[in-house]
Amino acid sequence: MARRGIGKYILVTAAACAVCLFVVWIKNPGENAAASAPAENMAEMDAAVAGPEGSIESEADAVIAAEALGLGSAGAADIVEVVELTGSRGLYDKNSAQALELVLADKVLVQLGAEYEIEKGLEELEIPQEPITYFGYNNLGIAEVDNHLNIREKPVDGKLVGKMSNHAACEILGIEDGWAHIRSGKVEGYVSTDYLLTGPVALMVAQKVIEPVATVNTDGLKVREQPNTNCSVMTFVSKGEELTVTEVLDGWLKVDLDGEDAYVSAEYVKVEDKLATAVTIADLLYGSGVSNTRVDLVQYAKQFVGNRYVWGGTSLTKGIDCSGFTMQIYKRYGISLPHHAASQANYGTRVTAATIRPGDLVFYSKGGRINHVGIYIGNGQVLHASSPRTGIRISNMNYRTPARMISLLP
């Protein structure tokens, strides 16, 4: 009885730590690298494990899945056993995934030299009611696109309700006929599975792209040039805004502010690891009561959301920086601007926050010198080529303090 109790205790412990063990393996296979899937089998693994169905249809598929999970070909029997036990072929099925995690934990404990033999006892295993989560998702999906992935209200020809940029994450609610029912951020709808990673491949990509994000929890947070209170204030950031953390210091955080290094006090932010999520169509609305030219310009500019940022770049599809973005957008409407944010700020007519309209330009500064520009798209938002980390994106106009606003359109 004592031995059986210890076995149960270890199984429970295995269940509790399974997620951590699996993620550690993904991040650093280390000595088990020899058991990983060969490069030439990745295409097969992608189809068998991380395809639209994420399914195990045969013993051959199970072998590929076992190799991908670092179990070696012998692990195929475990996967088949789990599939048969749970009555589900989907690797991301909740019950199947949870049972498989216990098998993985079992093997890891044995590899670590556990003193007690662990009987799997899958037939007697009670599947936990709470689903296992990775990065906050039960069934993780990752967009794999050059620009953005459209989210529709219904499959095939549904109304557009949102967009996911490359490597944005979502919760997979179900898959049918090549379409995945997903939830990402504030958006719920359907995306084509042709552009959605699932299963182990999604987990591996997520592990690579997830970043720590600092959410501001005070009004008017000072963003400084150095990690101390004696240096200059670059700008102010509003409550609720998010900043990508690049380094944690003693009492300070180094953050990415439109491609530049900046510092904020750790006392006034909450830091969490986050994956990017979808943008709602509501966030892309430009408002009403504006000229056709302004409406057309904003609609044209929005199609590039999610595209790459490249310093000095001028390509709307291959890579562009902030002033290059505004220069190229305005060029389409017959307005020539220099490829320099501070110079662009000297064009047009100055406007205020009360009179700004969609299509106007909003400028930001560092140390009193203008160094960034975006296009106002209505509803208190700007569209801008932000940084190499975030690409072309939509932000609140006051995500940092605007230095100047100008109008170039009727």
% of the chain at pLDDT higher than 90: 48
Mind telling me the catalytic residues?
A: 322, 372, 384
In three-state form (DSSP H/G/I as H, E/B as E, the rest C), the secondary structure along the chain is CHHHHHHHHHHHHHHHHHHHHHHHHHHCCHHHHHHCCCHHHHHHHHHHCCCCCCECCCHHHHHHHHHHCCCCHHHHHHHHHHHHHHCCCECCCHHHHHHHHHHHHHHHHHHCCCCCCCCCCHHHCCCCCCCCCECCECCEEEECCCCEEEEECCCCCCCEEEEEECCCEEEEEEEECCEEEEEECCEEEEEEHHHEECHHHHHHHHHHHCEEEEEECCCCEEEECCCCCCCCEEEEECCCCEEEEEEECCCEEEEEECCEEEEEEHHHEEEEEECCCCEEHHHHCCCCCCCHHHHHHHHHHHCCCCCCECCCCEECCCEECHHHHHHHHHHCCCCCCCCCHHHHCCCCEECCCCCCCCCCEEEEEECCEEEEEEEEEECCEEEEEEECCCEEEEEEHHHCCEEEEEECCC
Mean pLDDT across the stretch 121-126? 46
* Maximum average pLDDT range among 61-70, 81-90, 288-297, 310-319: 310-319
Residue 66 — very low, low, confident or very high, per pLDDT cuts 50/70/90? low
Does 35 score more than 50 pLDDT?
no
More confident residue, 267 or 105: 267
Which pLDDT belongs to residue 148?
Answer: 85
Task: Render pLDDT for 339-398 as a digit per residue (tens, 0 to 9).
Answer: 999 999 999 999 999 889 999 999 999 888 999 999 999 889 999 999 998 899 999 999
Task: Render pLDDT for 322-352 as a digit per residue (tens, 0 to 9).
Answer: 999 999 999 999 999 999 999 999 999 999 9
Domains and CATH numbers, the chain: 2-124 (no CATH), 140-208 (2.30.30.40), 211-274 (2.30.30.40), 285-407 (3.90.1720.10)
Task: Render pLDDT for 185-205 as a digit per residue (tens, 0 to 9).
Answer: 989 999 999 999 998 888 888
Q: Does the predicted TM-score (pTM) go above 0.85?
A: no
Which pLDDT belongs to residue 323?
Answer: 97
